[in-house]
Amino acid sequence: MGLAASQARLLTITSRKSDCEYQSMALSHQKIALARDMNIVSAEYQDSLSKTKLVYDFYGNGDTSTDLTYGLLMSPSELNNYMPCPVTDPSGRIVLDPALAAAAKAAGIPQEGLGCTPSSDIRDRFIDGLMDNGVITKSVGNNVKNVQYNPTMGLGTIDFITTSTETIGFQDFINEYLANEKYDFSALTTNSGGSHYKLVKWGSGTNVEWEYDAEDGSANTANPTISIADLINGNYALYGLSWDKGDIKNNPDLGGNSMSCIVDKVGSCSFWDGLFDTLESVIDHNDNRTVAALEYAKQETLKKVVSLGTADTFDVSNAAYRVGLSASGWWIFSGGNSMDTVEDEAKAYSRDYVGYVYVDNYSSKDEYNDGYNINLSNMTKAFYTYFAQYMQGLVNSDLCVTRDKATSNFVTDFPNNTDFSFDIVTEVDTTGNNMLIAGFYDALFNQIATKGWVENEKVNNKEYMQTMMKNGTMYISSVADDDYYYMANYATNQYIKEITDEEGIAIAEAKYQREKSKINSKENILDMKMKNLDTEITSLTTEYETVKSVISNNVKTGFSRYKA
């Protein structure tokens, strides 16, 4: 071999040997990395051997098959007895997933909460949000909204509301409810307490009157029992006069003079309470506005039927109309016949006014025969109009009640008007789980409204939520014996148990064996490659020494040839 060729071969061997050594070093680093991976896999496997999970054993029979999940706690079912167990953060705010958080936003509940339970309208907006975000179906949501909102659910009570609400128009309200509410006016038309009344129904033809005889209290017609619907659709009025037994100067124990005994008898009668109670018993009045509207209607109505003063300081300034008669206005006897002009005058004015009309006898004998009338139909219309006014807004409502029927704008004049309706309380549809589901969402809504909320996108992940509970980042709020919710660690909940996660351990072991097999396979391949490289490096080293020896001999021979 020539010197030049030997030199070239030596360079080639040197280059290849360096490359093999580099590859061997790289493979050695890969083996180190595999060893590190094996350590990690082994550590994970060792940790898994003590792995636990949270299960929900509602029936207390030792069942460990039901994992604790967000949906189980926050969705109505038999497993939670249709009572939510809200997940909370350390500050007590309710942890909501994105869908529930969207419903809270739709209801207008700020994250810090409202500090109180709001109106049923806000609760219904929350239910609408649940439907819009797929938490519940439209059918379930509408059934929940039909059940009367319970603002105390989970706040001192866990009693389910057994009534629902139905929105109906005024005409249906009259036909379905007011037609069945009837009142007996015989107590007012009976001769008692120093006054005497007749009940008249004004009509286009012959008027119908009910009267009780002044001497023995017997009726000349059937009992005057009238429904509220008839009062609204008809024109009924009470009219009459006081007896001379009303002389307060000589008979103070009667409790009033001839004027006050008339007004106060009607003003204190049970009819008004019955009228008020009828509306209050059938409408949904759980929100403050409806309660205020009822109270407003009661007070405004009563102002028009009672005297303002006492027997000594009788004040009829709130009368819708007042007229005075001369001395001839009291009992006139002529030829054995009598004519009660005071009573006739009272009857004449009993059709057209809202509030009572007072006929004042101006004779010197003021203990005699003051007259009085009140149109019961107009007053019934006024009551419902006052209620409707308040619900619509006193400033904005176009309804009005004046002293004159002709200038009043009653809500009953437009029974088919869709602008005004009643939320009627009805019996709950107890088919299925309507009542239970409604109670569940009322309790959840009340907790969100009073305690605030925080959104967490990962809370639906079972492992994440359980880990957060174990490390104290999340808690569970549940109902105590006093029917209030209290926040506590999961370990205090009687239905939640922490057990060894056998399934998790088996999965971790399978993963360990799988990863170990992969690492061992990679190591075997690396070992084979490194062995081949070692063999090649040994061969190259031997060849390197041979070529180097050849070059050295060639140099020595060359220099010896020219030796002197």
Tens digit of each residue's pLDDT (9 = 90 or more) over 176-186: 888 888 887 76
Which residue from 393, 376, 417, 427 is spatially nearest to 174, judged by alpha carbons? Answer: 417
Tens digit of each residue's pLDDT (9 = 90 or more) over 67-102: 899 999 999 998 888 999 999 999 999 999 999 999
Please report which helix (H) or strand (E) contains residue 21, including its range. Answer: helix 3-48
Q: How far is CA 63 from the centre of its chain?
A: 34
Distance CA 74, CA 447 (A): 12
* Region of poorest pLDDT, from 135-149, 163-177, 183-197, 459-473: 183-197
pLDDT of 236 = 87
16 three-state secondary structure? helix
Q: What is the DSSP string of 323-390?
A: EEE-GGGS-EEETTEEE-HHHHHHHHTSSSBSSEEEEEE-SS-TTS--EEEEEHHHHHHHHHHHHHHH
Distance CA 10, CA 4 (A): 10
What's the chain's length in residues? Answer: 564
Cβ atoms of residues 151 and 286 within 8 Å: yes
Helix 434-451 to helix 120-132 angle, to the nearest 10 degrees? 110
Q: Both tokens of residue 506?
A: 């088996």
Handedness of CA 20, 25, 29, 34 (dihedral sign): positive
Helix 138-146 to helix 120-132 angle, to the nearest 10 degrees? 170
- pTM for the model stands at 0.54
Task: Look up residue 253 and give its amino acid.
Answer: D
Distance CA 131, CA 142 (A): 9
Q: Both tokens of residue 23?
A: 């590859």
Which residue from 270, 287, 269, 290 is spatially nearest to 279, judged by alpha carbons? Answer: 290
pLDDT of 428 = 65
CA atoms in the 13 A half-sphere facing the CB of 201:
15
pLDDT of 474 = 94
Handedness of CA 86, 87, 93, 96 (dihedral sign): negative
The mean pLDDT of 54-77, rounded to a whole number, is 88
Phi, psi dihedrals of residue 357, rounded to the nearest 5°? -110, 135
Name 122's bridge partners: none
Bigger pLDDT: 318 vs 505: 318
Distance CA 40, CA 3 (A): 56
Confidence band of 24 (pLDDT split at 50, 70, 90) = confident
Distance CA 289, CA 217 (A): 45
CA atoms in the 13 A half-sphere facing the CB of 222:
3
The mean pLDDT of 92-115, rounded to a whole number, is 94
List Cα–Cα distances, 103 to 122, 213, 215, 439, in angstroms. Answer: 11, 66, 70, 17
Residue extents of the structural domains in the chain: 3-50+503-561, 80-162+429-489, 172-423
* Region of poorest pLDDT, from 209-213, 448-452, 453-457, 553-557: 209-213
Phi, psi dihedrals of residue 435, rounded to the nearest 5°? -65, -40
- Measured from the Cβ of residue 503, the count of other Cβ atoms closer than 10 Å reads 12
* Region of poorest pLDDT, from 193-197, 200-204, 336-340, 404-408: 336-340
Bigger pLDDT: 204 vs 372: 372
pLDDT of 87 = 96
Tens digit of each residue's pLDDT (9 = 90 or more) over 141-159: 988 888 888 899 999 988 8
Q: How far is CA 323 from the centre of its chain?
A: 54
Cβ atoms of residues 439 and 161 within 8 Å: yes
| Residue 448 scores a pLDDT above 80 | yes
List Cα–Cα distances, 283 to 277, 278, 304, 441, in angstroms. Answer: 10, 9, 24, 22
pLDDT of 364 = 44
Which residue from 91, 92, 116, 96 is spatially nearest to 106, judged by alpha carbons? Answer: 96
Tens digit of each residue's pLDDT (9 = 90 or more) over 364-420: 444 456 778 889 899 999 999 999 899 888 888 889 999 999 999 999 888 777 677
Contacts of 516 (CB under 8 A, 6+ apart): 38, 41
156 three-state secondary structure? coil
Phi, psi dihedrals of residue 97, rounded to the nearest 5°? -75, 170
423: left (phi over 0), alpha (psi -120 to 50) or beta: beta
| Residue 314 scores a pLDDT above 70 | no
